[in-house]
Structure 1
Amino acid sequence: MTSKTRVLFICTANAARSQLAQALLRHTDSEHFEAFSAGTVPTQVDPRTFDALSHLGVSTEGLRSKSIDEFRGERFDFVITLCDKAAAECQSLPGAGEVLAWSFEDPVASTKPDAFRHTLHEIHERIKMFVLVKTKR
């Protein structure tokens, strides 16, 4: 049994935000955290997600779009939703310890030129703070 803190990131399509968050948490502190991601209505990972992560030197190994159904019956210390739609749909996820709602603009739907890098940066800042706060015991 692992003593790592298990974190599940959820957004609607599991195409960008939750993938970025999963990869960034893994990159930032894989010693203390185990990161997972899923979507309420999964599609596929947007190629720009991989580009943004690679640009930052973050591993994209094993990233794929998956449904929260894959994690039914699993226990998570934190379930973090990354959009309002997922937050509304995941109020009562069984096996969730603490549920946090972080809201980030969807870079897939954005018309901003650097939407993916911008979202990556915003999520990275939030994750660094989360790691800082949750590893102070």
Structure 2
Amino acid sequence: MKIAFICTGNSARSQIAEGFAKYFAKEMGKDIEVYSAGSKPAGYVHRLAVEVMKEVGIDISDQYSKSLEEIPVNELDLVITLCDSAKNECPVVPGAKTEHWGIPDPAGKGLYAFRWVRDEIERRVKELIERL
């Protein structure tokens, strides 16, 4: 199974989701390929996203902000959008299921906001991987 988390900038929420999905898939022994991308990639992973993931023992510092063209969009089984603009801009992937998780952008709101977003994404991703 191939899943992708899509956000506008691919700098925080989708990067956090990718990190958790890879972690939980491995922990639960699930054969899942995980991707993230942005409809308008920022070109960087937000330093606070990296920091809050390190707090829970997951290193996403080697991940990078990428466009939809850089992931195998036509091979995806599940596409999850994390913001409304990505939901509206995400291409339709024939045969792929879609989900939308409207999670607020923590950028510019400080460490507390990044922690809240991390914890919300962790809960949702864990439930997702358990049911796949």
Relative to the length of structure 2, the TM-score reads 0.88
Match of 1:122 in 2: 120
Partner of 1:7: 3
Corresponding position of 2:15: 19
Q: Which amino acid aligns with 1:123?
A: I
| CA deviation profile, 1:4-44 (whole Å, cap 9, x unmatched) | x2111000000100000000000111332211100000011
- Residue 95 of structure 1: how far off its partner (Å): 5.1
Residue identity in the other structure for 1:83: C
**2: CA distance between counterparts of 1:60 and 1:72?**
20
What is the identity, as a one-letter code, of the residue corresponding to 1:45?
V
- In the alignment of these two chains, the number of paired residues is 128
Report the more deviating stretch, 18-27 or 61-70: 61-70
- Residue equivalent to 1:63: 63
Q: Deviation digits for residues 37-85 of structure 1, max 9, x if unmatched?
A: 0000001111111101111101215300000111255401101000011
Root-mean-square deviation over aligned CA pairs = 1.7
CA 73–133 in structure 1, closer or farther in 2 if over 3 Å, else same: closer
Quick one: structure 1 residues 73 and 48, their matched pair in 2 at CA, closer, same or farther if it must change by over 3 Å? closer
Fraction of identical pairs, as percent: 32
Contact conserved, 1:38 with 1:65, CA < 8 A, in 2?
Answer: yes
Aligned to 1:99: 98
Structure 2 gap ranges (5+) = none
Structure 1 runs of 4+ off > 2 angstroms? 71-74, 92-96
Change beyond 3 A, Cα 1:73–1:84: closer
CA distance in 2, matches of 1:13, 1:131: 24
10-19 vs 57-66, which moves further? 57-66
| Contact 1:23/1:60 (<8 A) preserved | yes
8 Å Cα contact 1:6/1:77 also seen in 2: yes
Aligned residue for 1:121, secondary structure, equals: helix
Separation of aligned partners in 2, 1:80 and 1:40:
13
